[in-house]
Amino acid sequence: MRSLLLAALVLVIFIYLLFKAFFGGIELNKYQDLQIAKEHHAISSGFVPSILPKSAYNIEETHDDSSGNIYGAFDYKEQDEKGLISKLTPLEDDNKTMKWGNFLFKIDKVKNHVLYRNKKN
């Protein structure tokens, strides 16, 4: 019985270490609004673009320290749509992707929702 418990404990530790090795650098953060994202230094750390409109809410970001990949999303109020889009540069692709700095954006104007990710070099 003891050897079975010991084997189970070793297996759990092994799985934990594997998980930590492969997924240890991935972090998911959610912020209710822009002010909270600023308070948690999400913008100053570069995980959330600084051009988010004042009305941005439901802000999410996922970043992987090992690969440098950043993915995120946010919602905004319609009155800020024109100002946001004016800061972005459309790319010549079929996906209607837009660019600002080191980030790529996809805007759903019907839902007032934006997906973003950092640009691959």
* Rounded Cα–Cα distance for residues 16 and 10 (Å): 10
Adjacent-strand bridge partners of 90: 98
Helices and strands per DSSP (H, E), number in the chain: 3, 7
Question: Pick the residue with more confidence: 99 or 7?
Answer: 99
What is the dihedral angle through the alpha carbons of 89, 47, 79, 76, rounded to the nearest 10 degrees? Answer: 120
- Distance in angstroms (rounded) separating the CA atoms of residues 29 and 58: 10
User: For all residues of the chain together, what is the average pLDDT?
Assistant: 87
The domain ranges of the chain are 25-118
Question: Which of 1-5, 48-52, 76-80 is the least confident region?
Answer: 1-5
pTM, whole model, 2 decimals? 0.78
